Structure 1
Amino acid sequence: MSYAESNAVFGTESSTTDGHADAPAAFPRWLLWAVWAALAVPSYFIGMYALRYLYTGPEGVEALNSVYEMLNMTSFNDFVAEQLPKFKEHRTLLYFHAAGMGTALAVGAFQFVPALRLRWFRVHQSIGVVYMAAALIGSFAGGVFAVVLPAEPGMAAVVAIVGVATTTFCFTAMGLLRLLQGDFTHHGEWMIRSFSQTLSGTTLRIMIIGMDYAGLPWHENYMIALWMCWVPNMVVAEVIIQYRRARRNGEPFLGPSPRAAGVA
Structure 2
Amino acid sequence: MKATLKNKKSIFWFGILLLLFLIALNFITDELKYFGFDETDFGRYWDVKWWLIGHLAGGIAALILGPFQFWSEFRNKYLKLHRLFGKIYLIAILIASLSSVYMAWTHAIKIHWTWAVALQALGFAWLCTAFMAYRAIRKRKIQQHKEWMIRSYVVTFAFVAFRWLVDLPFVIELGNFVERAPTVGWVSWVIPLFITEIILQWNKK
TM superposition score normalised by structure 2? 0.83
Q: Cα gap change, 1:156/1:56 in structure 2, threshold over 3 Å: closer, same or farther?
A: same
Structure 1 portions without partners, runs of 5+: 1-13, 15-24, 62-83, 247-252, 258-264
Q: Cα gap change, 1:153/1:31 in structure 2, threshold over 3 Å: closer, same or farther?
A: farther
Paired position in structure 1 for 2:53? 95
Taking the TM superposition and a 5 Å limit, the aligned residue runs for 1:1-264 are: 28-47=9-28, 49-61=30-42, 84-85=43-44, 87-150=45-108, 154-211=112-169, 215-219=173-177, 220-243=179-202, 246=203
SS of match in other structure, 1:182 = coil
Q: Letter of the 1:100 partner, please give it.
A: G
C-alpha distance in 2 between matches for 1:58 and 1:179:
42
Cα displacement (A) at 1:195? 0.8
> Would you say the 8 A contact 1:135–1:169 is kept in 2?
yes
SS of match in other structure, 1:149 = helix
> Would you say the 8 A contact 1:167–1:197 is kept in 2?
yes
> Would you say the 8 A contact 1:96–1:137 is kept in 2?
yes
Larger relative contact order (C-alpha < 8 A, sep ≥ 6)?
Answer: 1
C-alpha distance in 2 between matches for 1:103 and 1:51:
12
C-alpha distance in 2 between matches for 1:157 and 1:56:
25
Q: Letter of the 2:106 partner, please give it.
A: V
Deviations 1:150-209 (A, max 9, x none): 267622221111111001001111211222222222111111111111010111122123
C-alpha distance in 1 between matches for 2:134 and 2:146:
10
C-alpha distance in 2 between matches for 1:31 and 1:151:
43
Query: Greater helix percent: which structure?
Result: 2
> Would you say the 8 A contact 1:101–1:138 is kept in 2?
yes
Q: Cα gap change, 1:59/1:173 in structure 2, threshold over 3 Å: closer, same or farther?
A: farther
**Count of residues in correspondence between the two structures:** 200
Q: Cα gap change, 1:155/1:52 in structure 2, threshold over 3 Å: closer, same or farther?
A: same
Deviations 1:51-75 (A, max 9, x none): 54333255434xxxxxxxxxxxxxx
Q: Cα gap change, 1:232/1:155 in structure 2, threshold over 3 Å: closer, same or farther?
A: same
Query: Bigger radius of gyration, 1 or 2?
Result: 1
C-alpha distance in 2 between matches for 1:51 and 1:180:
34
SS of match in other structure, 1:150 = helix
TM superposition score normalised by structure 1? 0.66
SS of match in other structure, 1:230 = helix
Structure 2 portions without partners, runs of 5+: none
C-alpha distance in 1 between matches for 2:68 and 2:146:
13
C-alpha distance in 1 between matches for 2:164 and 2:182:
14
Q: Cα gap change, 1:170/1:31 in structure 2, threshold over 3 Å: closer, same or farther?
A: same
Q: Percent identity?
A: 22
C-alpha distance in 1 between matches for 2:190 and 2:39:
29
User: RMSD in angstroms over aligned alpha carbons?
Assistant: 2.7
